[in-house]
Amino acid sequence: MPDEIKKEIRAARVNVMLARYILVIIAAFLFLLMLLGGSYVVLMQTKQSADLSIDTNDTKAAVYSTTKAQVDALSASLSETRTILDQEILYSKVLANIGQQLPAGTVIGTLNLTSANFTGTPLTIDAYAKTNDAAVALREKFQSSPYFSNVKLESVSDSSTGISGYPIKVSLSLVMNRTIAK
């Protein structure tokens, strides 16, 4: 065979191989386009499903918005109530705590409690004691108590007009801590 024909046969084989490669590349390109199109369809369906879920949840949330508003209003009301209750002074507890500070042999003569006494205004307590030692013990008991501060002994005197059996009148000035009412 002549060289010219051999060259043409080789060129024909190369052309056939190139044609096959081109067909494979076109097939692969079409396959990738189909995958891309399928992915797009699946993503659009997922988006529509998510949008439908969002719309459904928005509708449900709108139904409960009045309930949420009521709960928020109740919560605000309860916080106001809590503030009021924190300012409450239980005088029965105050009196019980003062009574626990009295040592044996002492009694209270006069005690005037006001709300100002819980904000740092000094309180004067007039008490009666059987002995001078009981009067000193009264002052020491109030000084060592966590409920009181600035305890001062104003006066100690013999009182014939006092309570029977308690001849010594003791006058104390002190400042009450707010924890006494708790």
Per-residue pLDDT of the chain (182 residues; tens, 9 = 90+): 888 999 999 999 999 999 999 999 999 999 999 999 999 999 999 999 999 999 998 888 887 888 888 888 888 888 888 877 767 777 888 888 899 999 999 999 888 888 888 888 899 999 999 988 999 999 999 999 999 989 998 988 887 777 888 899 999 999 988 777 67
Question: Residue 161: its pLDDT value, please?
Answer: 74
Whether residues 53 and 76 fall in one domain: yes
Whether residues 100 and 136 fall in one domain: yes
Whether residues 117 and 154 fall in one domain: yes
Question: Residue 89: its pLDDT value, please?
Answer: 76
Q: How many domains does the chain have?
A: 2
Where a domain ends, among 88, 104, 133?
88
Q: Phi first, then psi: what are they for 29, rounded to 5°? A: -60, -45
47's CB contacts (< 8 A; 6+ apart) are: none
State the pTM of this model.
0.54
Range of the domain at 13: 1-88
- How many angstroms separate the CA atoms of 95 and 5, rounded? 127
Whether residues 59 and 4 fall in one domain: yes
Whether residues 72 and 145 fall in one domain: no
166's CB contacts (< 8 A; 6+ apart) are: 106, 107, 128, 129, 130
Whether residues 13 and 69 fall in one domain: yes
The per-residue b/e assignment along 23-36, b for 16 or more CB within 10 angstroms, e otherwise, is eeeeeeeeeeeeee
Where a domain ends, among 34, 69, 88?
88
